[in-house]
Structure 1
């Protein structure tokens, strides 16, 4: 054997030793080994690289950390777009011709677009298949839930200040309120929860009460014969605040009622429920 051959053999052996000392990524080694459990040592539970890891094939291995190729995404998008265009063209062509088979297809498409979904049947199928209803879908729930306001504000009740009354003069006539006709000395109630802001003394036209409500709203009650509240009293919707004047002869007793929103008179009929 020539000295040159001995040198080459020693270099090759050294290269093999260096390759044996290279540590592979554990995840890569596990994925590339066809049977990682076969050569484990039963005593110490330790396996060497040579015992169970084969050499990597660079043509078959793809780094899982690499991102998906843009070309594959583009191809997938092109295929989906092509399929969608074919479906659209088929439906469009179906409605262009009136043949026996196109008429049947048109009927199926129209039925699919117009018929309502049978949620009860869908819920029954879901329960039978998955042993329970999907609680995250409200329509599948057994007990209907009460609606909740999305604005986060408390909805206070609003009532008519003179129940079972009739409208005598409209807002279009008076421009600053309405007149309601009631029975003699009928009780008048607060239309909404609020604080008594003004109470005038009774004169020939009667007394007037002004109540401040939330949301910059004010209600005015005029032509009262007697008041049951004082200034700064807190009243709830429907609480008695006074009485109408005593009727003269066959004439009904009248109540002047006005609503101001942000210092502007508005039609009470659009705010207060009247009988």
Structure 2
């Protein structure tokens, strides 16, 4: 509040000083062709330049924050003056390209002169190492290049399609159509089991017959969702799969997984109950799609 009152007071003092120092209309017309009010708005008296309004300084400063350092008391009015551009990169683009081309030409000319001087020195003096150099230069200038060998090497090294990319292999392969969906492997929970009760009879699954304590595997990749304790009818395992599909395995005598275990298609998850004599052991198997029981035979390869 004190800052706001101070700014307001300084404005009032400035308006008062301008009104007191305002020249007459006749003097204004003789000295300045513009109207008097325009002159008063634009003219700043010399003795007022050192006492400018901080708000006016802030608004006219192109970068006001640059005038405040770590210590806010160090206020520098000179920071309001925008310095000239110190960059000397004012050459036109075509001049810069021309200069770069001349520099490159000078370097190439210098290298060519050095090479010429080296060859001249080799043929100027007869020493052991210069004689070897003379022979190499003469051979390079007189012998013909064996283009046949070079062409054979190029053909063996670079010719043909790259073999490490399957599409460029020489052996053609039959095209396989794709429907854009990911298909995971699906197996029968009892690979050697036989169907004894159908979905039409149970309305919520099927029954497969297997040997006593036969291994039961996961029909599809998924996560173990539920595992019930064993009772007279055995244990039950529920596995959650992709695409909102769930498989249920009942009448198990032994389980080999825990809740939240991740299983792949074909991984063992338990065993059937132990049967008496030659009686087969039964597996209850159900498939739910979107919370609706469906016939497992329609989605699982069961013989």
Report TM bin, short chain: 0.3 to 0.5
TM-score (norm 2): 0.43
TM-score normalised to structure 1 length: 0.47
